[in-house]
Each structure stands twice: as structure tokens, then as C-alpha cells.
Amino acid sequence: MPETTFGILGFPWDGGASLGRPGARFAPKNIREAYQWFENRIENNQVYDVDKRKLYTLDKGSIKDFGDIDIAAYSTEKTFENARQQTLDMLEAGVFPFVLGGDHSISYPIIEALHEHTEGRIGIIQFDAHLDLVDNSPVQGKFSQSSQMRRAIELDRISPEHVIQIGVRSFNYPWYAEYLKEAGVVQYTARDVHSGNPKKIVKEILEEKLKDVDHIYLTFDMDVLEPGLAPGTGANEPGGLTVVQAFSMLEELYDKVDVFDIAEVNPLYDVREITSSIAAKIMFECAVNKLS
């Protein structure tokens, strides 16, 4: 069933970038600017998808920009409460929230809003180079860009086995070896995607790993991509997904998810707006699929 309103919500926050590079607060503005390139192709409420050889018709006014989260720079707690409430308001109004971060800490209050708005079990699909399951640390605290998934699985109706991480890679803290065995978080590493079939992986996730959930939250950290293809992120981890791999997986998910966020676009490290343009393409493609 198509959504009636696709809502864009900016979350210009990088207060959680305690180890990664700050600068993601500028991403919502840059992604919106890049998005105009795609929006310009809409004529008479129609747009043509060259890849699929398909003409889409959109209802007039069905894509709406709700502005930015009210940021309280002095307080993570106040900012996150504002984000939770503003997202909840959109959900209660029947709007599909597409949230533009921001460092990856922004996901937690948005997940909270979905949790509060719905009943039943929630699954999370996380495209990311990193695991983001740190509990707490003297440097990062409990609500950083490294902790949002750990906080999410503490919510009542989100189980670790319903958290699916795609594209994770490289090296990480030694305690992860034991934690991951005990927690049951499901991972498809970047190497798994490279050696497998991206669409089949998504099919397996939906039909097997998340078959028992009632709602799905999708978060896309731009550093899941190979750094040479998306240089404007909070951290570089070589060996990431290609843009084509990511697009092919996402197009199987757009009509299955309840909320979507994009995180870790960092315009301060981008080259010719390449990374912002990829994010804008994802947003536009999601809108077209949701509204058609």
C-alpha cells in the first residue's frame, strides 16, 4: 500500500562524533541541495526511471520537507527528546519519516519514536562499516555514534537477533568476539556481500532473519560504501560496498520499511558533493518507491 506523504526531516547533529570526524551537521543542507537535481526531473507529477524503463506517477504534494529537528547544542538529551517527539508526530500523522543525519547517534531517538508509535516486534537493518554496539566509555559516553545499536536493543521489543548489520568490516575491539557470540546480532560482512548475491542476501534477511518482526527500521551509514566512492563520511574503512551493490539491496527494501535514516554524510570531507549526491539519490528513489 503506497504511503500518502513522504516526509523529509533533517537532523543536523554531530555531537555524537566523539571518535569519528565531526562535520555531519552540515549534511542535511547539502543532501537537500543535491536532491534538487533529481526533483527537477519531475514533470506533471511524473518521473521516468531509466534503469527500470518505468514511468512513475506521484501525487502532488506527496513529498514534503518538515524542516530540521530543533537542536539544543548544549544538551544531547534535549536534542534527542526533540527528535523523538518530532518523528513521533510525523508517524502519528501518517507520514513516512526519511531522516537526514547527522552522525550515527541520531538513529536512537528515531528508533525510540518508532518503538513508541507501534506495537509488535521491530527489526533493524543497518548498513554500516562499523558495529556501533559500544555500551559506554569514558571518552564516548552512552549516546555516541558508536552506541546507537546497543541502546536500541535495550528497548523492549527489539531483540539482538532482529538487528541485521550489512557491510561491516575491518578490525574492532577484542571484546566484540565474545559479545557477538552471546548477543546474537546477525551480520553480513562486506566480504559476504562481495562474494555473494546482494539481492539474495536481502531475500534471506526478509524471509528468514526478520520473518517474525512486525516493523522494520532501516539505517544507512554512508561509510558502508568504499571510501573511494563516497569520500565524505565520518571515517574511512577500505573494502566497502560499491554504490551499485547498495542500490540493488536498497531497492528491495524501500517498500518494506517503516522509517529510514541516512547518517554520516560529512560535507567537510566530501569531493565535488559525490557523497551527498549518493544520499540524495537514495532519498529520491525511496520516495518514488514509497509513493507509487
Instruction: Note whether 87 and 110 are within 8 A (CB).
Output: yes
Tell me the CA distances in angstroms from 269 to 35, 75, 98, 170, one per residue in order: 19, 26, 23, 21
For the chain, helix (H) and strand (E) counts, in that order, are 9, 10
Residues 148-191: pLDDT tens digits? 999 999 999 999 999 999 999 999 999 999 999 999 999 999 99
DSSP state of 205: I
**DSSP 3-state assignment of 76?**
helix
Radius of gyration (C-alpha) of the chain in whole angstroms: 18
CATH number of the domain residue 201 falls in: 3.40.800.10
Closest C-alpha to 248, from 211, 185, 193: 193
pLDDT bin (cut points 50, 70, 90) of residue 97 is very high
Which stretches does DSSP call E strand in 135-284? 163-168, 186-189, 215-221, 259-263
Does the pTM exceed 0.85? yes
Q: Which residue range is the domain that position 67 belongs to?
A: 5-137+144-291
Mean pLDDT, rounded, of the chain? 96
In the block, which residue shows the cell 549534511? 27
pLDDT in tens, 141-157: 888 999 999 999 999 99
pLDDT at 2: 59
Count of domains forming the chain: 1
For residue 1, pLDDT over 50 is answered with: no
Q: What is the pLDDT of residues 195-239, one digit of tens each?
A: 999 999 999 999 999 999 999 999 999 999 999 999 999 999 999
